[in-house]
Amino acid sequence: MKKNQKRLLAFAVMMAIAPAYAASLSEVEENSPINSSQYLTITDKVTEINAAVGVPSATSTSTIMPAPGVIPTAPLLAPAPTSEPDLDYYSFYANAGDVVTLDIDGGIGGVQSVDTIVAVFDESYKVLRQNDDAPSLDAGSTSTLDSRIDNFKITKSGIYYVGVSAYPRFFVDGGGVTSSGAGKGDYKLVISGVTPAVHQITLDVKPGSSDRAPINPKSNGKVPVALLSDNSFNAMDIDPATVTFGSNGNEPSLSKCNPAGLDVNGDGLLDLICHFDNQKANFHYDSLEGIARGKTRKGVAFEGHGLLKVTPTLTK
């Protein structure tokens, strides 16, 4: 079996056994140099990326360029098109106050063992933390040669970059490395501690009506709202206890959610129908949309918007 086929098989096996609480992704090439990093949308408490490092890409011809205004502290070495071991770069958005762990699992003991190095950079490609050998073993590793950065505190909201290389290719400011030779093999990068991104969903307010939903702010009734699923979001996983809905989206107006799902828009996916107290939703004569917010049972935050047709009142 060819090496690339082995890698793909290993990825498939790892994704099949990934824990249910983790979002599992696969590396996408080209993700090198650093300004071509693979962007990761963090939608769960734990995100796992199945990857391989040191395997050259036949199509890579790019060179590593420092961020504007950054003077590298060492020569920047870019992977050659066919012979130089590749580097892996990922990027993600994190919020101030997040305490992040960047953990390499299975570098030692995978399809092909590799002694990894992991680093995290700021938006100007400055190295903030770097680790070669983990300070201790964790559940996903059989050797401390699997690198790990613990307790990386995010002091400023923004984009951060993660670099993965194989020893002895240490990272330097600007996204380069200090050595050209290195090993190669497969690994899993586990990112935890990042506040999950808010998943945007679609609402159908008063489903079944082809026009905008008519709302009378003075009504004492209930407003049915369909929270729609999509290919990356299962509305049936929503925790009803967290759902709010109204003019600004934070109103505690929930009356109940139907336990059984219904395919409201005919896309083959079950949608969640919830009912909200119209008075508590606090709509006004000039309200144009209803906003819903909440979380899934796995902790993924969501937000949805749906158009309204509010019955005008005589005064503002």
The whole domain housing 267 covers 199-310
Q: Residue 165 burial (CB < 10 Å; 0-12/13-18/19+)?
A: buried
- Asked if 128 and 169 sit in the same domain, the reply is yes
How far, in Å, CA of 221 to CA of 62, rounded? 61
Please say which residue of 192, 210, 238 terminates a domain.
Answer: 192
Kindly state whether residue 268 falls inside one of the protein's structural domains.
Answer: yes
pLDDT in tens, 276-316: 999 999 999 888 999 999 999 877 889 999 999 877 654 44
Query: What per-residue confidence (pLDDT) applies to 307?
Result: 92
Kindly state whether residue 315 falls inside one of the protein's structural domains.
Answer: no
pLDDT in tens, 131-171: 999 999 999 999 999 999 999 999 999 999 999 999 999 99
More confident residue, 68 or 196: 196
- Asked if 220 and 182 sit in the same domain, the reply is no
- Asked if 66 and 172 sit in the same domain, the reply is yes
How far, in Å, CA of 286 to CA of 133, rounded? 59
Query: What per-residue confidence (pLDDT) applies to 205?
Result: 94
- Asked if 124 and 183 sit in the same domain, the reply is yes
pLDDT in tens, 87-116: 999 999 999 999 999 999 999 999 999 999
pTM above 0.85, yes or no: no
Query: What per-residue confidence (pLDDT) applies to 9?
Result: 43
CA-based nearest residue to 161, from 129, 197, 115: 129
- Asked if 250 and 151 sit in the same domain, the reply is no
Please say which residue of 192, 224, 255 terminates a domain.
Answer: 192
What mean pLDDT is predicted for residues 264-284? Answer: 96
- Asked if 160 and 211 sit in the same domain, the reply is no
Task: Kindly indicate the confidence band of residue 5, based on its pLDDT and cuts at 50, 70 and 90.
Answer: very low
- Asked if 69 and 133 sit in the same domain, the reply is yes
Query: What per-residue confidence (pLDDT) applies to 56?
Result: 60
Q: For the chain, how many structural domains are there in total?
A: 2
Query: What per-residue confidence (pLDDT) applies to 300?
Result: 81
Percentage of the chain with pLDDT > 70? 82
- Asked if 178 and 211 sit in the same domain, the reply is no
How far, in Å, CA of 134 to CA of 138, rounded? 9
The 3-state DSSP class for residue 11 equals helix
CB 76 within 8 A of CB 178: no
